[in-house]
Chain A
Amino acid sequence: MINPLIYFLLFLKASLFSTGGFSNLPSLHQDLLANAWAKEADFGQSIAIGQISPGPNGLWVISLGYLTYGYLGAFLALIAITFPALLVLVISAGYTRIEHRVWVRGAMHGVSLAVVGLLLTVVWTILYTWNMEQLRHGSTGALGVDWKGMLIAGCAFGLALSRKVNILIILGLAGLAGYLLYR
């Protein structure tokens, strides 16, 4: 059973300790799975829905809220991503005083590096556990690696890297590939 207050606080914590739309993902991933309040598949699906729908890409959290806890979850997620942004008012008042201290820049650099490492863990988990899920469906006999899924992930990466293909088209092609390969 989901405790709404703790659920909200987990979203708020993830948002408070993140920078940018996706960097709250590792924290939510860890906490919601630990409480069994989300399934692994919810994350991939929320990101896909977030990419298809309009708005800043941080709004993927709203579909995560909906998929795990209905309209209340979506609402709590919206509040949790909005509130930390108001801290910019505090920061705009105080930052000019400390921006020239070297340790501030050093710490910011450390946080940026951590964000990269944490995003890599999410990529790893999405690919790894998604394939494990396929194993449970009994579709392959091999150990956890489905080459078709890896191929799709690689193609999506390449197409996104080229910056010539819209994200919506990439996801559409991936869905078509999934339909043809796994039907």
Chain B
Amino acid sequence: MELQDPRPSKWQLFRIWASVGLQSFGGGASTTFLIQRAFIEKHKWLSMEEFTQLWNLCILTPGINLIALTVLIGRKLGGAWGIAISLAGLLLPSAAITCLLAAGFKTVENLPAVQAILRGVVPATGGIMLLVGLNFALPLIRRGYKEGALYLLASSVLIIACALAVILLKLSVIVVVLGAAFLGALFFSSKSAPPLLGKEQGEQQ
């Protein structure tokens, strides 16, 4: 492992993460891109292989993968302090801006013009969410094709069953997720699953 640059100072680490957080508009893909550019290309603190390994651990972690990635990179570059500083840098400035935007929205939300604008924006977020769902589904469907028709069918049935369980039966989301994990362990384990070290998964979130 060749590290070309010396380890960052605390302040430098904070500044880098803050700039990643503040520049990443439009969600995870741009954040991932900015992290790769800052830590791999510009400062050479990580290799691409290391980055991929860290990312795969993050996929298995509950919650937001990018925050888990921040924890791992922070630990590598500065131990416990590195974790705290990296999290603060990524989250505090961008969370403050998010909060201020929400506060600004609250003061104007009852204006008729704002109401009209929202009637356009909210359905659009529904459409975008649909795409987020499809992005999640795509690697699973691809894998289904490789494993055969029965596997694909079982996967589709599980997706629809989970949706219906929440909409019609009003089951708790947690129950649905745990049930799906159990069914997955029962029915999808016998197949030769591909290793989790797939690069395409890095595009998600």
Contact surface of A with B, Cβ cutoff 8 Å: 13-22, 24-27, 30, 41, 44-60, 62-63, 66-67, 71, 74, 78, 81-82, 84-89, 91-92, 95, 99, 102-127, 130, 134, 149-150, 152-158, 160-161, 166-168, 170-171, 173-179, 181-183
**Contact, CB under 8 Å: A156 / B123:** yes
- B26: chain A residues at CB < 8 Å are 51, 57, 166-168
**Contact, CB under 8 Å: B27 / A167:** yes
Q: Find the A residue at minimum CB distance from B64.
A: A58
**Contact, CB under 8 Å: B60 / A95:** yes
Q: Is B33 an interface residue (CB 8 A)?
A: no
A120, B59: Cα distance in complex, Å: 21
- B31: chain A residues at CB < 8 Å are 55-56
**Contact, CB under 8 Å: A111 / B125:** no
With A84-B61, A118-B163, A118-B176 known as contacts, the answer to whether A174 contacts B124 (CB < 8 A) is yes
A47, B67: Cα distance in complex, Å: 18
Q: Find the B residue at minimum CB distance from A58.
A: B64
Q: Find the A residue at minimum CB distance from B115.
A: A182
Measured between C-beta atoms, what is the minimum distance from B185 to chain A in Å?
4
With A89-B71, A105-B193, A126-B129 known as contacts, the answer to whether A170 contacts B124 (CB < 8 A) is yes
With A55-B95, A56-B28, A107-B184 known as contacts, the answer to whether A117 contacts B158 (CB < 8 A) is yes
With A88-B72, A116-B137 known as contacts, the answer to whether A106 contacts B193 (CB < 8 A) is yes
Residue of A18, A41, A95, A124 near B167 (CB, 8 A) is A124
**Contact, CB under 8 Å: B119 / A182:** yes
12 residue pairs A–B, Cβ–Cβ below 8 Å: A20-B136, A45-B122, A49-B98, A52-B101, A57-B26, A81-B67, A99-B196, A113-B162, A114-B158, A130-B126, A150-B123, A178-B117
Given contacts A85-B68, A181-B120, 16 further A-B contacts (CB under 8 A): A20-B64, A22-B129, A44-B125, A53-B101, A55-B22, A56-B90, A67-B105, A78-B91, A87-B68, A109-B184, A118-B173, A120-B130, A123-B133, A127-B126, A156-B125, A158-B127
Q: Is B3 an interface residue (CB 8 A)?
A: no
Count chain B residues whose beta carbon lies closer than 8 angstroms to a beta carbon of A.
98
A108, B198: Cα distance in complex, Å: 14
A24, B177: Cα distance in complex, Å: 11
Q: Is B160 an interface residue (CB 8 A)?
A: yes
- A157: chain B residues at CB < 8 Å are 127-128, 130-131
**Contact, CB under 8 Å: B190 / A102:** yes
Measured between C-beta atoms, what is the minimum distance from B116 to chain A in Å?
4
**Contact, CB under 8 Å: A88 / B58:** yes
**Contact, CB under 8 Å: B127 / A156:** yes
**Contact, CB under 8 Å: B68 / A55:** no
Q: Is B110 an interface residue (CB 8 A)?
A: no
Residue of A20, A113, A125 near B184 (CB, 8 A) is A113
A47, B128: Cα distance in complex, Å: 10
- B124: chain A residues at CB < 8 Å are 48, 152-153, 155-156, 170-171, 173-174
